[in-house]
Structure 1
Amino acid sequence: MSRLAFRAAAAAVGVGLLAVYLAAALFVADLLRAVWAARPDLPVLLALLAATALASAYLSYRLGTAQILANLEGDRVPRERAPDLHRRIDSLAARMDVERPELYVTDARAPNAFAVGGGSDGGALVIDRSLFRLLAPREVEAIFAHELAHLEGNDGLAIAMADGVGRSLVGFATVAALPALLALSGLSAASAWIRGRPGDRSGPFARLHRALAGALFAGFVLATLVARSRSRKREFAADDRAAEVTGDPVALARALRRIERATDPTWSFAPFSTNKRTEEAAERWLSTHPSTDERVERLRETAEAKGPTRRIPAGPSRAAGRPGRSRR
């Protein structure tokens, strides 16, 4: 094929692509205009959008909670099988504004504890069996109190709602920007083909498309960062509440250190493990939990304010590797 014939064929392809993309953009724009024309008054519209975002977030939370419990590789522990354990949970729940949760014990061989659900249904407290071998009774009780504090504050729902609402807002913005994204994609591809350089995406339309897509992605990241920031704050609040209820912040600090050491990777390929310690700011921002060092330091300050305390074990060296991200 001669160069002239190739340029003519490429131009034809470009025009065809432009027609397809612009037709799709116009179809979506017309659809959005029809929806907008049929909209209720602005206050009602905002209320409907808010209700949709909240309902979507709540449904996602409820389905996620049910899926976690359905996929849980553990056993529900009735009172007759572990009366002492149930008495300890009863005692803590009586001191807190929380419905008594169901108790599940797993055997994942990794020290971990987490709470799901909450509110009027009481939720569930999930504990790995290895915690009972790793921690002293007072430390186990401190971990229980921390997880019950999450149920007391209904933290799972609050964090899921914050995350879900943020994602819904970004979703609404993406739908509104879809005609522009389609049009810019068509213009970018068509201009590249017409210029005889089909793979070139350095033109102005391609840059505009990347800028718009980048702005939407930045909104998604911002929504995620806000939800993760709230999650870290709720961890601190649960630590404070556990220290208040048990009257023993040192026990929780020691439990966190023991769990950190037990989950700290020591095998030869530890530098490639997802559990390794990192100083990367982005990873800290995206973490759902603050570092163990931060949590232990706050608990140490709380303990010192209450008077003389037992020694809290020091954490692993910075070169050792990051503690595992257990949901404790």
Structure 2
Amino acid sequence: MGRLGVRLAMAAVGLTLLAGYLAAAYLGYLGLYWLWTNRPDLSTLVAIVVGVGIVSAYLSYRLGTSQLLAALETNRLPRSRAPGLHRRVDELAARMDVDRPDLFLTRAHAPNAVAIGGAERGALVLDRSLFRLLQPAELEAIIAHELAHLERNDGLLLAVVQGLSRTVVGLVTVALVPAILALSGLARGSAWLRGRPFDRSGPFARLRRLVLSAPMLLVVATTLLVRARSRRREFAADDRAASVTGNPEALARALKKIERAQEPAWPLAPLSSHRESESRIERWLSTHPSTDERIERLAEQAESREQQRERRREGNEGPTVIPIE
């Protein structure tokens, strides 16, 4: 086959691809048009979208609890093996608005504690190394921090936010399907017509990448929002733990010890949520704020508590009375 024959064959392939993609895009457009013309009123539509997002998030949250416990390879910690620890968890839960969680042990790659679930039927997973690393008051502070997450239902709220964001991203992606198919056909068809079937630098290909970036930008935006809220809830859990235990210094010491134990021993270690970083992008994507910042806030709380105690002691002493003869 001569060069002209090859070009004609490539042109035929390009036209076939273009026709196929445009037909699929048109069918997608007809489907979306039918859905739009038969849509319920705006309030009902919003209620349906929000309801579907919340239900799917709740189901994934409930199923994810058991899946996470299985993934962590946990073992239930009976009261007979650690009566003192169980008794202290009972006391902390009684002082907080949370049901007493089930206790589990795991053997992770680094010392950590994880709260799973919510204020009702929650679970607390402790890495075995915490018992060697932390003093009793420090371990108590870490447990109070995790109970604060359960008390605030942070896991459920996070699942709902993620579920709603996934629903919105999914709807945007579906709405863009006809445009994506049409641009894909134009990009691939024009590349074959030009005799360069693997060329992805044409204007239609660039426009297609631009359209595809819209859902990705939504994913990035929702991820940043979720991570920002996650960092704020860590501060709130620190404050609650310091308030319940009355010992912010113990929590600060525990955080520092855990951070030191989690420092990667090799340069290609994965990004840790607790690792200090000078990269702004890594800080934005981190689920936890800087440990130094958390420790600084706890130190300020400890200083404030000490000043309040000093003022109370001075007030209890009363004025000095000099007897008059």
1:259 is matched with 258
**2:219 is equivalent to residue 223 of structure 1:** no
Tell me the amino acid that sits aligned with residue 32 of structure 2: L
Distance in structure 2 (CA, Å) of the matches to 1:196 and 1:109: 54
TM-score, with structure 2 as normaliser? 0.90
Structure-to-structure mapping, 1:166-177, within 5 angstroms: 166-177=165-176
Distance 2:148 2:75 in 1: 22
For structure 1, which segment, 232-241 or 103-112, has the greater mean C-alpha deviation from structure 2 after superposition?
103-112
Deviation at 1:74, TM superposition (A): 2.3
* Range with bigger deviation, 226-235 or 196-205: 196-205
**Aligned equivalents of 1:240, 1:6: Cα separation in 2:** 72
Instruction: Extract unaligned runs of 5+ from structure 2.
Output: 308-325
Indicate how the Cα distance of structure 1 residues 109 and 282 shifts in structure 2: closer, same or farther if over 3 A, else same: closer
Choose 69-78 or 46-55, whichever is displaced more: 69-78
Q: Percentage identity across aligned positions?
A: 61
Query: Which whole-Å CA distance do the structure 2 matches of 1:41 and 1:167 have between them?
Result: 23
Aligned residues: 304
Q: Do the aligned partners of 2:49 and 2:167 also contact (CA within 8 Å) in 1?
A: no
1:194-244: CA deviations, max 9, x gaps? 111112222221121111111221111111111111111111110010011
CA distance in 1, matches of 2:298, 2:263: 21
SS of equivalent residue, structure 1 residue 115: strand
| Offset at residue 109 of structure 1 (A) | 5.6
Equivalent residue of 2:72, what SS? coil
- Aligned-partner SS, 2:103: strand
The change in CA–CA distance for 1:23 and 1:109 in structure 2 (over 3 A counts) is closer
**Residue 149 (1) aligns with residue 143 (2):** no
Q: Which whole-Å deviations, capped at 9, do the CAs of 1:16-35 have from their partners, x for residues lacking one?
A: 11111112111222222222
Q: Which residue of 1 aligns with 2:104?
A: 104
Partners of 1:109 and 1:130 within 8 A in 2: no
Aligned counterparts, 1:307-318, within 5 A: 307=306
Residue aligned with 2:126, SS: strand
Matches within 5 A, 1:176-195: 176-195=175-194
Q: What letter corresponds to residue 242 of structure 1 in structure 2?
A: A
Which segment drifts farther, 148-157 or 299-308? 299-308
Q: Deviations over 1:49-108 (max 9, x none)?
A: 111111122222122112112333221122222211111001111111111100111233
Aligned to 2:286: 287
Q: Which amino acid aligns with 1:258?
A: K
Kindly report which structure 2 residues correspond to 1:131-150, keeping only aligned pairs within 5 A, or say none: 131-150=130-149
The match for 2:78 is 78
Aligned position for 1:273: 269
Structural RMSD (CA): 1.4
Describe the SS at the equivalent of 1:120: coil
The answer to whether the aligner puts 1:59 opposite 2:55 as a matched pair is: no
| Separation in structure 1 between the aligned mates of residue 120 and residue 133 of structure 2, nearest angstrom | 32
The aligned residue for residue 94 of structure 1 is 94
The 2-side partners of 1:65 and 1:20 are apart by 45
Deviation at 1:277, TM superposition (A): 4.3
Q: 2:276 & 2:302 partners in 1: Cα distance? A: 26
Match in the other structure for 1:242 = 241
Q: Does 1:118 align with 2:118?
A: yes
SS in 1 for 2:108: coil
SS at 1:126's partner residue?
A: strand
| Bigger Rg, which one | 2
Counterpart residue type for residue 268 of structure 2: F
Amino acid at match of 1:216: P
Aligned partner letter, 1:59: L
Determine if contact 1:106/1:128 at 8 Å carries over to the other structure: yes
